[in-house]
């Protein structure tokens, strides 16, 4: 009996570790890879199980709470207050689920010694408590994510809740049968195996549901980003047409003023004409390549960099990006320059100045793109990917790099990022094939 009790509690700690891992990963961004996060949570529950063997309810409660707060704060991108909040909530819900199940079995169903009779009784009660705890935590996750209002076309959440509720009913039925009927040993064993299997299948269903949600959210963000890129491409094309008109005006005005400078000898007039040329940037060049969309995009960042006193050097060789469609140009160069601009803007002058260098060359069928920018704040690395310093919300970190990766993959290319801590410099190198 003691061995069964020990095994049942060990299985309960495994399930609780999975619930903590899955629920927190649904709500918050993990700081490390999933494997490290999962192993850390299981190690924490091993400590909790060791304390459980002491049978000291006060020590168990305090250690469980401290371990949960420590794990949440260590493994997820949350502040201390949030870690304490969820640590307390999860421990309370865990205890509450056990109280509700034991109360239901003893005072509603009428089983006075619920959870203390036979090995089957112990296992069934453990599974009942875990599945009910699972159901409560998922309800809290849906509330936290405001997912209680389901999409009409998305039945996954309803199916998940239905599966957990059905499992709860099945466990209760098994428990009533096992405690009121005289079952043979073989029947009891099969009921215990099916109960454990049902708990595992519920966890697998939830895990699958999470992966589907993540994929759907990512696809939705990509669709929105694609629409934005189409709109940006149109805007940059119009921007370039405006720049071309201004270029013609600047060219003509420059010729007229130079003619006036040559004709007049009055020093005041010459100084006045020169100031006009400098004030309106008449000698400023606004064309960087033969691609209208890219010209508009670079013109925008030229103005931004000028406002922020960021040195912006562009070297785009002729005919380098003729084979890249407009939306891909916006997605690729837009994200590269956006990340570089945000990083350079946050640099102090004492750290070597603010600068961005964009170089685009071509050799045969291969396009080489290199962007170097000053970067005082080291970029984050999550799941092996660099994340920009931009302050995004709602877990949107990394979609700019994902967009770059998608374009690179579309053109059978490769990319490489590097951060130089000594020079405070970030470099992204991209190679695209025709």
User: How sure is the predictor about 430, in pLDDT bands with cuts at 50, 70 and 90?
Assistant: very high
How far is 361 from 432, CA to CA, in rounded Å?
11
Q: Tell me: the pLDDT tens digits for 266-319?
A: 666 666 666 665 655 544 444 466 777 788 788 888 888 888 889 998 888 877
Category of 412 on φ-ψ map: left (φ > 0), alpha (ψ -120 to 50) or beta: left
Q: Tell me: the pLDDT tens digits for 33-57?
A: 888 998 999 999 999 999 988 888 8
Q: Which of 304-308, 350-354, 371-375 bottoms out in mean pLDDT, i.e. has the lowest?
A: 350-354
Q: Whole-model pTM? A: 0.46
Q: Which pLDDT value is given to residue 379?
A: 80
pLDDT of 245 > 80? The answer is: no
User: How sure is the predictor about 94, in pLDDT bands with cuts at 50, 70 and 90?
Assistant: confident
Cα four-point dihedral sign 162, 168, 174, 177 = negative
H/E element holding 255? helix 185-263
Q: Which of 17-31, 129-143, 197-211 bottoms out in mean pLDDT, i.e. has the lowest?
A: 197-211
H/E element holding 311? strand 311-316
Question: How confident is the model over 206-230, as a mean pLDDT?
Answer: 70
Q: Give the 3-state secondary structure of residue 417.
A: strand
Structure tokens at 123: 């296992």
User: How sure is the predictor about 149, in pLDDT bands with cuts at 50, 70 and 90?
Assistant: very low
Q: Which residue has the higher pLDDT, 161 or 219?
A: 219
Q: What percent of the chain has pLDDT over 70?
A: 61
Q: Where are the domains of the chain?
A: 2-225, 288-433
User: How sure is the predictor about 393, in pLDDT bands with cuts at 50, 70 and 90?
Assistant: very low
CATH fold of 288-433: Heat Shock Protein 90 (3.30.565)
User: How sure is the predictor about 421, in pLDDT bands with cuts at 50, 70 and 90?
Assistant: confident
How far is 45 from 74, CA to CA, in rounded Å?
15
Q: Which residue has the higher pLDDT, 295 or 358?
A: 358
User: How sure is the predictor about 119, in pLDDT bands with cuts at 50, 70 and 90?
Assistant: low
pLDDT of 262 > 70? The answer is: no
User: How sure is the predictor about 9, in pLDDT bands with cuts at 50, 70 and 90?
Assistant: confident
Give the HSE-up count for residue 27: Cα atoms under 13 Å, Cβ half-sphere: 22
How far is 362 from 133, CA to CA, in rounded Å?
60
Query: Taking all residues of the chain, what is their mean pLDDT, rounded to a whole number?
Result: 76
Q: Which residue has the higher pLDDT, 327 or 125?
A: 327
Q: What value, to the nearest 5°, has the Cα angle with vertex 289 and ends 285 and 293?
A: 100
Q: Which pLDDT value is given to residue 43?
A: 94
pLDDT of 30 > 50? The answer is: yes
How far is 72 from 79, CA to CA, in rounded Å?
9
- Eight-class DSSP state of 350: G
Q: Which residue has the higher pLDDT, 392 or 17?
A: 17
Question: How confident is the model over 68-83, as a mean pLDDT?
Answer: 91
The DSSP code sequence of 362-392 is EETTEEEEEEEEE-SSPPEEETTEEE-S---
- Is 289 within 8 Å of 358 (Cβ atoms)? no
How far is 121 from 114, CA to CA, in rounded Å?
7
> Tokens 């370039």 label which residue?
240
Q: What value, to the nearest 5°, has the Cα angle with vertex 53 and ends 123 and 95?
A: 60
Give the HSE-up count for residue 429: Cα atoms under 13 Å, Cβ half-sphere: 4
Q: Which pLDDT value is given to residue 294?
A: 82
Question: How confident is the model over 159-170, as a mean pLDDT?
Answer: 69
Q: Tell me: the pLDDT tens digits for 192-216?
A: 677 677 767 776 776 776 677 667 7
Q: Which pLDDT value is given to residue 150?
A: 43
> Tokens 């959440």 label which residue?
157
* Mode of pairing for the β-strands spanning 311-316 and 355-363: parallel
- Is 57 within 8 Å of 97 (Cβ atoms)? no
């Amino acid at each position: 009996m003691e061995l069964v009790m020990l095994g049942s509690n060990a299985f309960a700690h495994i399930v609780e570790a999975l619930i903590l891992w899955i629920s927190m990963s649904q709500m918050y961004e993990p700081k490390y890879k999933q494997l490290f996060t999962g192993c850390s949570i299981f190690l924490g529950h091993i400590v909790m199980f060791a304390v459980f063997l002491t049978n000291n309810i006060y020590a168990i409660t305090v250690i469980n709470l401290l371990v949960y707060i420590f794990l949440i704060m260590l493994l997820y991108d949350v502040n201390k207050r949030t870690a304490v909040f969820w640590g307390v909530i999860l421990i309370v819900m865990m205890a509450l689920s056990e109280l509700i199940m034991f109360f239901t079995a003893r005072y509603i169903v009428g089983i006075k010694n619920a959870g203390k009779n036979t090995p089957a009784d112990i296992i069934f009660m453990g599974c009942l408590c875990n599945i009910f705890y699972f159901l409560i935590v998922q309800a809290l996750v849906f509330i936290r994510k405001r997912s209680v209002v389901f999409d009409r076309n998305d039945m996954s959440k309803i199916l998940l809740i239905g599966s957990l509720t059905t499992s709860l009913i099945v466990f209760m039925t098994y428990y009533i049968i096992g405690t009121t009927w005289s079952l043979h040993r073989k029947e009891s064993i099969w009921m215990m195996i099916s109960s454990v299997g049902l708990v595992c299948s519920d966890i697998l269903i939830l895990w699958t549901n999470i992966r589907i949600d993540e994929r759907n959210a990512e696809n939705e963000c990509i669709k929105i980003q694609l629409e934005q890129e189409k709109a940006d491409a149109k805007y940059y094309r119009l921007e370039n047409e405006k720049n071309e008109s201004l270029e013609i005006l600047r060219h003509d005005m420059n010729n007229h003023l130079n003619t006036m400078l040559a004709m007049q000898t009055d020093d005041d007039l010459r100084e006045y004409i020169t100031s006009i040329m400098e004030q309106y940037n008449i000698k400023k060049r606004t064309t960087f390549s033969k691609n209208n969309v890219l010209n508009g995009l670079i013109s925008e960042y030229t103005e931004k960099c000028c406002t922020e006193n960021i040195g912006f050097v562009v070297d785009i060789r002729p005919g380098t990006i003729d084979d890249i469609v407009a939306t891909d140009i916006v997605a690729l160069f837009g994200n590269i320059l956006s990340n570089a601009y945000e990083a350079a803007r946050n640099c102090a002058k004492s750290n070597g100045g603010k600068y961005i260098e964009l170089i685009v060359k071509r050799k045969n069928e291969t396009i080489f793109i290199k962007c170097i920018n000053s970067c005082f704040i080291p970029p984050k690395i999550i799941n092996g990917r660099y994340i920009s310093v931009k302050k995004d919300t709602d877990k949107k970190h990394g979609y700019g790099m994902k967009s770059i990766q998608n374009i690179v993959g579309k053109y059978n290319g490769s990319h490489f990022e590097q951060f130089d801590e000594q020079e405070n410099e970030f470099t992204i190198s991209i190679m695209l094939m025709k």
